[in-house]
Amino acid sequence: MQWKRITAVAATVMLAVAACGSPSSNSNSGGNTGDAGTAQVKATDPTLKGPAPEIEGAKKGGTVTVLSDVTPDTFDPTNTYFVDGMQISKLMYRSLTQYKLDDKTGKPILVPDLAEDLGTRSADGLTWTFKLKQGIKYNDGSPVKAADYAYAIKRSFATELYDAGPTYQKQFFKDGDKYHGPYESGDNYSGVETPDESTLIIHLAKKFDDLPYYAAFPVFTPIPKAKDTQKNYEQKPMTTGPYQVASYQQGSELKLTKNPNWDPNTDPVRHQYPDGWDFKFSQDLLKVQRQVLASSGPDANTLNYTDLDSSLVPEVKDQSQIIKGQQPCTYLWGLDTRKIPLEVRQLVAQAYPFETWRKVAGLTPDSAIPASTILPPAVPGYEKYELPGLNGTGKGADDPAVAQEIKGKLKDLGKENFELSWYYSNDDKIANQVNQLRTQVYTAAGFKVKAIGVSKAKIRTLRNDTKAPVNIGQGPSGWCSDWPSGASWFPVLFKSDAVDLSNSVGMLQDKTLDAEIDRIAALSPDEQLKEWPKLDKNLLENYLPAVPLYYSASAYPVGKNIGHAINDVTQGMPEFTSIYLKQP
Amino acid sequence: MLYFVARRLVSALSVVLVTLIVTFALFFVAPTDPAASICGERNCTTQRYNEIRENLHLDRPKVQQFAEYTAGIFAGRTFETAGVVQECKAPCLGFSFKSDRPVTELLKTRLPVTISLVAGYAVLVLTIGVFVGSMAAKRRGTTGDRVLMSSTLVLSSVPYYIVALMISLYLTILYPILPRGGYTPISDNPAKWFAGLLTPWLVIGVYNCTQYARYSRGSMVETLSEDYIRTARAKGLSDRVVTYKHALRSGLIPVITIFGLDIAGSLAGAIFTERIFDLPGLGNLVLESLQNYDLPVIMGTVLVASVILVAMNFLVDIAYSIIDPRVRLS
Amino acid sequence: MSIGSPDSTVGVEDHPASAEPVREASVAHGKSPTRIAIDRLRKDKLAMTCAGIVLFFILIAVFAPLLTKIEGGDISTFHTDLVDEYGFPTIGINADHWFGVEPKTGRDNFARWVYGAQPSLIVAFVATLFGTVVGVVMGLLAGFLGGWVDRLISWVIDFVLSLPYLLFAIALVPIVESMRGGSFNLTPDEQASTRFYVLIFVLSFFGWAGLARIIRGEVLSLREREFVLAAKAIGVPTRQVLFKELLPNLVAPIVISASLALPAYVTAEAGLSFLGVGLIEPKPSWGQTIATATNWFKADPLYLWLPVLGITVLVLALALLGDAVRDAFDPKTRR
């Protein structure tokens, strides 16, 4: 009958899995994050020039096919914020700055892309000046003008039209709250200036020291006003990267061909080895991952950028077919510090049944590294430390002895049957099972559990309600770095004003903590690298606003013919711009 | 006759309209969250989320929204966002929340794929299903009958996803015995079009022939014991002529009915086939629009599905009177 | 000379040619068609085996708690120690876990299989029953009465078939939950049972329409037949024509539809569970198991094939039984 085939048991359409990284060696728990322990020393290199050094053994030619189960909704540079869209954009759009991955460690170094430098900050921090490279051309041969950079920035304020893009410019740029884009508010925008062809000046409303990092986003790629067809721009965009759009069918396929006007001498990061790229979306996950692993015939030139499904792990015969790496994300279980006293929070953390939970939640050693800190290893400012009992592993109160111990301690504190409450999605199978597990374990540990089941579609609103009648799991359940800097974590998640913005993990409202965070954020980037780890430890030791659960990691299958497939740690995606085909 | 057609047309339009109204209403009653899908899971701050929600304009009066939508289908609409005027010519089905593509464009690119898939499937399932059913009917009660019916039944009890996935993996990818699934427009390359669709045709055709086999067996068993069949046999007509020329006709009535329903349902139902055999058709669109709570696309697909359904049911009724001249449609 | 009553043997010797055949006193006059059918069925070994199989499944579902107790497992304990870090069960079939354990969670498969039969069977049977009864009645009325009745019912059928049933199912759950006091005030058990009833309702609501159309089509063809015209001419009331004349001739499509519907409903339940509108944890059901197990079919085949086998055997038994019933009731088929 009709509905016999409408049984839509689709492999979950997980949009933008932003998962955090594990080291690129074998699959086991964070043990070999050896290189992540040392603080990042050189995070920027303002003098790096093109061309990017040739990769040993790289050959030119052939078409790489990327088979994906997820569907990016857009490739308009102003509207791109999803992880895969951003990464694919690097093939087409160049920005003011870009990331070069260190050859040995894979760590990201910020380098100039279409700008000559990484921007010069004024003394008060409210003006940034970028020198623009000259002689850059679009894929149709026309020259890139300074006004195009300015226009792209102006375009990014039309957030009613480009509603999926990033919005930092509205927050930090001058008149960001008043200017609504060139279509509505006209061309006059006081936040950008192009006094001459080689200068771009950005005026800020408040200090934004991470602006050079933000400038790596595709939102800064130049767009000529005359070619702006708004929603149709992505069909035939002006590209400055090594590739141009040959055809784009939203939801199914994106084909890229070589951009003849890309000059490698101006580009310190990218390569143009394959002749073309063929992205196919909306495929069945298990089918394509098997296809890629089997690599027979044309499948040897394919890859997939979703974490390898755990049921396929035994089918991996050649480990070199799996790209492994870190992702800049940590997942946390927020504990409302206003409602749960510190000692009880510590018992909650002690009771967490990591071992069982990881299995029930489907987290594998490849894609989810047990976490012991807030900042993940992929982000500079991370230093490995482990507080006793808080390392993302262990049985917790699943072990009856531990459960008894916690029960006893609760009694001593006079907090027997302390009520823990949270929301969970009762129509999601895994969320349901995880909830059952947590309920069982915490009840055994002497707590009273009130778990409220709600529909998946409603849970976001409930989790963002700071006045909700629950005390666990509110606020963001995880955080991913938009750029490699601790300054995009701590001020956003742990300051008092985060509570009202519904961004707070743990609902901390501590003035001393606020002051400390502000102090560190005002330091130079290199000094920050030394201070963030201390704050991180301080937070977990003395405040415990959340139980760190895991850092997400990449484990992507690639075909046998794909060369130099490495993980780009800034996004947690393969670095497309350095891939080549071994046999084109 | 004309009166009949006119009446059916009015009835069809009213079904489509009421379906659209109910779908629209259901969307707002159901727990839906299109803004969350656009905002994504990573760093979706409440500010961004709220802004997106506002931009979707779902808080305006529902009746007004629906009225604008319906008017747009006939007269076209203009949308104004952030100073940009987007023209949407009639029939205007709006723009997808998620991708901002015009819904008509999405439907237009995907419809030929689904039609190609369904057309081949229809041919295959009718021939195989009815043939198997007739053979079983002739041998009713014997082991042959039981075996034929059981085998098709067993096959269709295995979840379709598994069958499709295994055939795709083992017969097209790992061991290229059958051609790989994929879509090439027939105008580009008819041979490639055929090759890319052959395997999916075979898979859904064979898998779904159970119901056709069973229904045709069921009604053929009845028909084969009718008097007029006995007469035909007595006249000396060959077995094959008796079965396929005389008995099949009236045996086809239930088959035609389910065929009509099946084709109408295949539109949105071939989700797995499309994902597994790399066919960018409508099924995928339906699924994703539901998961993303993409109202304009949902309405668009429901509209198309509804129109095709009423059309098919109309055609089926006409077919009844052609196959069995005794049938009088009111 | 009088013949006498049929049971007497008087007169046989005198008038052999016109005598009534000899009958034994204990034999009834004639058998009702139902009796004939049942007798035939009883003699059909295959049909009896199938009936036995169906009964077996029903018993399994009914006695699930007892069976699980014998095995010593239960449906909700997580045994993650029996599962490796990738979620693969490290044990197969053993004495403690007769069917092995589930990937990732390590829960006992046997317990989940026998308990899972319950909701899946109930949902499928009830929805099939409802869908069949309503579908047949509607189809009969529409096909036979014609006129505005037909137009109205056909309109409703078209409407029901046009509605996006997934959206409808998604929408219905919170409506019913709010009627029961709102999702915050319901315990997980109450939420699960709400979904159970909603699911049955949704499947039945969308299921009858197809059968109604099929029946209508057949009736359109049948109503012009001589026996129907004759019955009408005699003045048989409409209700009797429908149920005594037409219905027996529709046994075939009804039985076929029911036997096709049952597995389809179980798989529909699976699909809906995946989208979050079907049955939810912790209540196990074959549909949910199938939905999860499809991903693991290569890595842990047992996990998938157990519920699939359950459905297949059940459906096969039902279908063959149904065919046998149909053949038994049909006076024209002689075996």
Best to test chain B binding among A12, A157, A160, A179 (most B CBs inside 10 Å):
A160
What is the three-class DSSP state of A175?
Answer: coil
Which DSSP symbol is given to C38?
A: H
Verify whether the Cβ–Cβ distance C188 to A2 is below 8 Å.
no
Q: Which residue has the higher pLDDT, C249 or B14?
A: B14
* Per-residue confidence (pLDDT) for residue C26, from 0 to 100: 56
- Six token digits for residue A501: 């913005």
Verify whether the Cβ–Cβ distance A160 to B81 is below 8 Å.
yes
Which DSSP symbol is given to A526?
A: H
Contact residues, chain B, for C157 at CB < 8 Å: 313
Of B32, B221, B302, the CB nearest to C252: B221
Q: Which of residues 187-246 of C touch A (CB under 8 A)?
A: 188, 191, 206-207, 210
* Per-residue confidence (pLDDT) for residue C31, from 0 to 100: 66
Of B153, B221, B291, the CB nearest to C316: B153
What is the three-class DSSP state of B12?
Answer: helix
| Helix orientation angle between C45-62 and C33-43, rounded to the nearest 10 degrees | 90
Please list the residues that pair with A421 across neighbouring strands.
A450
Q: Does position C18 have pLDDT exceeding 70, yes or no? A: no
Q: Are strands A127-131 and A567-568 parallel, antiparallel or unpaired?
A: unpaired
Residues B247-263: tens digit of each pLDDT: 777 778 888 888 988 88
Sequence-distant (6+) residues with CB within 8 A of B199 are B167, B168, B171, B172, B178, B179, B180, B181, B277
* Per-residue confidence (pLDDT) for residue A322, from 0 to 100: 95
The C-alpha atoms of residue A157 and residue A176 are separated, in whole angstroms, by 7
Which regions of chain B are under pLDDT 50?
none
Cis? peptide before B61, omega within 30° of 0 = no
* Per-residue confidence (pLDDT) for residue A13, from 0 to 100: 25
**CB-CB contact of C75 with C118 (8 Å):** no
- Chain C: residue whose CA lies nearest to B220: C252
CA B165 to chain CA mean position, Å:
20
pLDDT confidence band for C79 (50 / 70 / 90):
confident
Q: What is the mean pLDDT of the segment spanning C215-240?
A: 84
Verify whether the Cβ–Cβ distance B271 to A5 is below 8 Å.
yes
**DSSP helix, strand, coil percent of chain A (3-state; round to 5):** 30, 20, 50
**CB-CB contact of B148 with B213 (8 Å):** yes
Verify whether the Cβ–Cβ distance A428 to C276 is below 8 Å.
yes
Q: Which residue has the higher pLDDT, C248 or B117?
A: B117
Of B84, B173, B174, the CB nearest to A230: B84
The C-alpha atoms of residue C125 and residue B146 are separated, in whole angstroms, by 24
Q: Does position C50 have pLDDT exceeding 80, yes or no? A: yes
Residues C292-303: tens digit of each pLDDT: 888 888 888 888
Verify whether the Cβ–Cβ distance A3 to C268 is below 8 Å.
yes
What is the three-class DSSP state of A137?
Answer: strand
* Per-residue confidence (pLDDT) for residue C86, from 0 to 100: 86
Of C170, C171, C253, the CB nearest to B218: C253
Chains that touch C (3 or more CB pairs under 8 A): A, B
* Per-residue confidence (pLDDT) for residue A517, from 0 to 100: 93
- Chain C: residue whose CA lies nearest to B169: C298
Verify whether the Cβ–Cβ distance B82 to A158 is below 8 Å.
yes
Query: Mean pLDDT by 10-residue block, N- to C-terminus, for chain A (584 residues)?
Result: 26 26 28 39 80 92 94 92 93 95 87 94 94 95 95 93 89 91 91 94 92 95 94 93 94 94 95 96 90 92 93 88 93 94 94 93 91 91 88 91 93 92 88 92 94 86 89 91 88 90 90 93 84 93 94 95 93 94 92
**CB-CB contact of B204 with B273 (8 Å):** yes
- Chain B: residue whose CA lies nearest to A67: B278
Is B150 near chain C, with CB under 8 Å? yes
Contact residues, chain B, for A20 at CB < 8 Å: none
Residue C231 CB coordination number (10 Å): 18
Verify whether the Cβ–Cβ distance C166 to A6 is below 8 Å.
yes
Best to test chain B binding among C153, C172, C184, C220 (most B CBs inside 10 Å):
C220
B316 min Cα distance to partner chain C (Å) = 9
- Six token digits for residue A88: 């694919």
* Per-residue confidence (pLDDT) for residue A351, from 0 to 100: 94
The C-alpha atoms of residue A523 and residue A514 are separated, in whole angstroms, by 15
| A23 burial level (CB within 10 Å; 0-12, 13-18, 19+) | buried
B261 min Cα distance to partner chain A (Å) = 7
Contact residues, chain B, for C299 at CB < 8 Å: none
Verify whether the Cβ–Cβ distance A365 to C173 is below 8 Å.
no
Q: pLDDT over 90 for what percent of chain C? A: 10
Q: Does position C39 have pLDDT exceeding 90, yes or no? A: no
Q: Which of residues 358-417 of A touch C (CB under 8 A)?
A: 358-360, 362, 364-365
* Per-residue confidence (pLDDT) for residue A434, from 0 to 100: 93
Q: Give the residue from A293, A316, A312 showing the smallest Cα distance to A26.
A: A316
The C-alpha atoms of residue A199 and residue A213 are separated, in whole angstroms, by 18
Q: Does position C227 have pLDDT exceeding 90, yes or no? A: no
Q: Are strands A108-112 and A127-131 parallel, antiparallel or unpaired?
A: unpaired
pLDDT confidence band for C187 (50 / 70 / 90):
confident
Best to test chain C binding among A427, A439, A442, A452 (most C CBs inside 10 Å):
A427
* Per-residue confidence (pLDDT) for residue A334, from 0 to 100: 94
Chains that touch B (3 or more CB pairs under 8 A): A, C
The C-alpha atoms of residue C323 and residue B152 are separated, in whole angstroms, by 14
What is the three-class DSSP state of A580?
Answer: strand
Of A2, A9, A286, the CB nearest to C271: A9
Q: What is the mean pLDDT of the segment spanning C112-134?
A: 89
Verify whether the Cβ–Cβ distance A7 to B55 is below 8 Å.
no
Verify whether the Cβ–Cβ distance B106 to A297 is below 8 Å.
no
* Per-residue confidence (pLDDT) for residue C333, from 0 to 100: 59
Of B38, B84, B276, the CB nearest to A164: B38
Q: For tokens 């030929």, what's the residue? A: B112
**CB-CB contact of A138 with A94 (8 Å):** no
Backbone angles phi, psi at B6, to 5 degrees: -60, -45
Contact residues, chain C, for A455 at CB < 8 Å: 173-174, 183, 276
Of A9, A294, A461, the CB nearest to B173: A294
Verify whether the Cβ–Cβ distance B43 to A482 is below 8 Å.
yes
3-state secondary structure A435-494: HHHHHHHHHHCCCEEEEEEECHHHHHHHHCCCCCCCCECCCCCEEECCCCCHHHCHHHHH
Amino acid at B157: S
Verify whether the Cβ–Cβ distance C281 to A315 is below 8 Å.
no
CB contacts < 8 A (B, C) = 172
* Per-residue confidence (pLDDT) for residue C68, from 0 to 100: 87
* Per-residue confidence (pLDDT) for residue B79, from 0 to 100: 82
- Six token digits for residue A31: 């043990």
Gyration radius of chain A's alpha carbons: 24
Q: Which of residues 248-287 of B touch C (CB under 8 A)?
A: 250, 253-254, 256-258, 260-261, 264-265, 268, 286
Verify whether the Cβ–Cβ distance B19 to C163 is below 8 Å.
yes
Verify whether the Cβ–Cβ distance B45 to A458 is below 8 Å.
no
Residue A342 CB coordination number (10 Å): 12
